[in-house]
Amino acid sequence: MPQIIDLQTRQRRSKAQLKSQVIADLVNEMSWILSQPPTCIGARIRPEEDLANELGITRRMVRQAIKAFTDKGVLVRRQGSGTYVRRVHSHPADAAESSVFGLTHEHLFLDLQTTDTKTQHLNHELIGKAVQSLRIGLWSDWQLSPPHTTTHVVLSMFMRHAQLAGHTMTIHSQVTSSQKALPVQEMAKQLEHASDDGFLVGTQYADTFLKARKMAGSVCPYLFHSMGSSDFDLHPSIYVDTERACQRALQHLIELDYQRIGTIALHTTKQCDIEHHVHRGMMLRANLCQDFHAYAHDMGVASSMQATRELLAKADRKLDAIYVTNDMVLVGVVEALKLEKLIPGKDIAIITLANRGYPLPRGYNWSKMMFDPESYASTTIRLISQQIEHPDMPVSSMAIQATYIEGDTHLL
């Protein structure tokens, strides 16, 4: 009997050692990949299950390998979103080489997967011409945004479209480790030593960037970008025209002869004041009540439910229609209406802003002002590339317009 127990112990020990070696090999290969371009801050790791299936190992092994880098602060997990690169890793110079898995960036990263170029047709007009590979710097505050927001979606799309165009994208943080805006002097220092050919800059940090650029003596092209309308004029820029989307949505509701029309906006966005100004102006011109507007103070369901209750109270629960100016608050709006026994498209008309690819509450055929983040990202990369490659050409700004998609919820 003791001999049998000893044999079982050795077998268990052998399996444990094999498992440990597999994890060690994966950690070593990940260490190398996480230290090499195009790895960059904000890049998203593929789901554990996908990686496990791809590599032929268990999901638990993948999780333990990833944990080795989250413990070091190289990767960060965001609940409901995934695992992202927090900082570029420094691969130990004396680390043993491993090629057990043959891990590549395309295996590890969700954002860096590309289509098979073997099946793509060549543009014969480009044959024989040099195609320039650019280095595009993206100034971002992605750390401050909840992981499920369009900020992260668009960031991933910027990276993907840059790579599809043959370019490299590096991400520069616009916030410090204490989650405060990067000082002008620090941004100037980074610009002075940056190797980027041009920059994409969020409009909320435009003033800081312009001051830092002047301080650093940089002449690199730049393009401001925003996922919403702003109350200031920046050039060159590309932005999603949420102001015009609001005008068009309210006009649809006015033309349907609704008398009591409200708007709900997200208070944390700069464009919410613009959209409520639009609401007041359009109601004034249509001789309708201008008072039916409310703010959700964050993206939480509780906040948007409270905003909906406040809006209904202003109208004595006799509201005809609502334009929801941010799809992130729509879930709370729907939940609040359910509690009031109000059904969108039956008891109250709803038009909502929407972003293609971002799911809206199920059970309704939503009428929506639809933006396409994929098209926005592709156009943005094309514009900044043109500015870099053709510095003598006049720079241009662009407003991306929404497409109105008619569903059932705008009708009663």
Q: CA torsion angle for 295, 204, 375, 194 (degrees, to 10)?
A: -160
Distance CA 378, CA 196 (A): 19
Distance CA 391, CA 396 (A): 12
Buried b (16+ CB within 10 A) or exposed e, 114-129: eeeeeeeeeeeeeeee
More confident site: 24 or 181:
24
Q: Name the helix (H) or strand (E) containing 353.
A: strand 349-355
Confidence of residue 149 (pLDDT cuts 50, 70, 90): low
Query: Which tokens is 95 given?
Result: 């680390």
* List of E strands, 197-305: 198-202, 222-226, 237-240, 261-266, 293-296
Distance CA 37, CA 34 (A): 8
> pLDDT tens across 107-118, in order?
888 755 333 323
Asked whether this chain's domains 2-90+102-108 and 132-241+376-400 adopt the same fold, the reply is no
Concatenated DSSP letters of 343-403: -BTTTBEEEEEEETTSPPPTTS--EEEEE-HHHHHHHHHHHHHHHHH-TTSPP--EEEPPE
More confident site: 76 or 301:
301
pLDDT score, position 105: 78
Mean pLDDT is lowest, of 140-149, 155-164, 249-258, for 140-149
pLDDT score, position 63: 92
Query: Which tokens is 75 given?
Result: 């990767």
| Amino acid at position 117, single letter | T
Confidence of residue 280 (pLDDT cuts 50, 70, 90): very high
Place of tokens 């002047």: 214
- Asked if 250 contacts 261 with a C-beta cutoff of 8 angstroms, the reply is yes
Distance CA 76, CA 42 (A): 10
pLDDT score, position 38: 66
pLDDT score, position 272: 58
- Percentage of the chain lying above the pLDDT 90 cut: 37
pLDDT score, position 213: 93
Q: Which of 103-107, 294-298, 349-353 has the highest mean pLDDT?
A: 349-353
- Asked if 86 contacts 47 with a C-beta cutoff of 8 angstroms, the reply is no
Distance CA 31, CA 24 (A): 10
CA distances from 105 to 43, 46, 174 (A): 10, 10, 25
Closest CA to 51 of 30, 77, 78, 20: 30
pLDDT score, position 115: 30
Cis peptide before 359 (omega within 30 of 0): no
> pLDDT tens across 375-409, in order?
899 999 999 998 888 877 888 888 899 999 999 99
Based on its alpha-carbon atoms, the radius of gyration of the chain, rounded to whole angstroms, reads 26
Domain ranges of the chain: 2-90+102-108, 132-241+376-400, 242-372
Q: Would you tell me the crossing angle of helices 330-339 and 301-314 to the nearest 10 degrees?
A: 60
Architecture of domain 2-90+102-108: Orthogonal Bundle (1.10)
Taking domain 132-241+376-400, whether its CATH number is 3.30.1360.200 is answered by: no
Confidence of residue 119 (pLDDT cuts 50, 70, 90): very low
Q: Which of 30-39, 68-77, 152-161, 203-212 has the highest mean pLDDT?
A: 203-212
Q: By CB neighbour count within 10 A (0-12 exposed, 13-18 middle, 19+ buried), where does 24 fall? A: middle
Backbone angles phi, psi at 345, to 5 degrees: 85, 0
More confident site: 309 or 231:
309
Mean pLDDT is lowest, of 89-103, 161-175, 251-265, 391-405, for 89-103
SS3 state at 83:
strand
Backbone angles phi, psi at 28, to 5 degrees: -65, -40
Of the options 3.40.30.10, 3.40.50.2300, 1.20.1280.290, 3.40.50.720, the CATH number for the domain spanning 242-372: 3.40.50.2300
Query: Which tokens is 367 given?
Result: 């009428």
Concatenated DSSP letters of 190-215: HHHH---SEEEEEGGGHHHHHHHHHH
> pLDDT tens across 179-234, in order?
677 889 999 998 988 888 999 998 888 889 999 999 999 888 999 998 887 655 78
DSSP 8-class letter at 170? E
pLDDT score, position 245: 95
The whole-number average pLDDT for the span 68-81 is 79
Q: By CB neighbour count within 10 A (0-12 exposed, 13-18 middle, 19+ buried), where does 317 fall? A: exposed
Q: Name the helix (H) or strand (E) containing 321.
A: strand 321-324
More confident site: 207 or 2:
207
Confidence of residue 311 (pLDDT cuts 50, 70, 90): very high
